[in-house]
């Protein structure tokens, strides 16, 4: 997915941030975003390649100037090792969602078909309903949820937020972990 145009010069932009896994780091970064008035669409955290380092994937909205400031301000946080913008043209991105759906009767087949088409999985079943796992680009996850909502009763959704990585062929490459 290329960076989504919102309006004017504003667009969605993904940055991957490598940080020392120390107490308070996430708070520092979240605090930085709110203090500077940057808009976070999603943020994910997890271990990276090296022990002691974590990788954050942050999706932010703003114009080019804001995006530049975000990168510079992130570097000022002492625990931040590397800020890597994610190439809008050459990247892979994934997000996972768990969706709890109520089943009252005849729509089971329809649901199974939908899950099949989107290559999702049913990971929990009961008399009342199911939980579906769906993985893919954000746009795919959103399309699935939209379709599902039009025909079924969704009880609960939990999304991971996006993780992303530059493709081998991307010119943005050049960092490890």
Interface with another protein by CB under 8 A: which residues? 19-20, 23-24, 27-28, 31-32, 35, 65, 68-69, 72-73, 75-76, 78-81
Name which of 41, 42, 45 is nearest 25 in CA terms. 45
Q: Which CB sits closer to another protein, 43 or 112?
A: 43
> Following CA atoms 50, 53, 59, 65 in sequence, which dihedral angle do they give, to the nearest 10 degrees?
-110
Instruction: Name the minimum Å distance from CB 37 to another protein.
Output: 12
Instruction: Name the minimum Å distance from CB 26 to another protein.
Output: 12
Cα–Cα distance measured from residue 158 to residue 138, given in angstroms and rounded to the nearest whole number: 13
Q: Which CB sits closer to another protein, 82 or 90?
A: 82
The number of beta carbons lying within 10 Å of the beta carbon of residue 103 is 16
Q: Which CB sits closer to another protein, 64 or 156?
A: 64
Instruction: Name the minimum Å distance from CB 69 to another protein.
Output: 6
What would the two tokens of residue 69 be? 């400031």
């Amino acid at each position: 997915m290329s960076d989504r145009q919102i309006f004017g010069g504003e667009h969605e932009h993904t940055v991957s941030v490598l940080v020392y896994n120390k107490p308070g780091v996430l708070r520092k970064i979240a605090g930085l975003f709110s203090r500077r008035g940057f808009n976070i669409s999603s943020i994910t955290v997890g271990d990276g390649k090296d022990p002691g380092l974590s990788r954050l994937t942050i999706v932010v909205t703003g114009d080019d100037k804001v995006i530049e400031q975000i990168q510079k301000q992130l570097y000022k946080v002492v625990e931040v090792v590397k800020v890597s913008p994610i190439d809008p043209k050459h990247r892979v991105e994934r997000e996972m969602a768990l969706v709890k759906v109520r089943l009252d009767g005849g729509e089971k087949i329809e649901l199974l078909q939908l899950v099949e088409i989107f290559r999702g999985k049913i990971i929990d079943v009961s008399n009342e309903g199911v939980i579906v796992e769906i993985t893919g680009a954000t746009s795919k996850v959103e399309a699935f949820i939209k379709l599902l909502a039009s025909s079924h009763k969704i009880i609960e959704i939990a999304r991971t937020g996006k993780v992303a990585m530059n493709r081998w062929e991307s010119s943005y490459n050049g960092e490890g972990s």
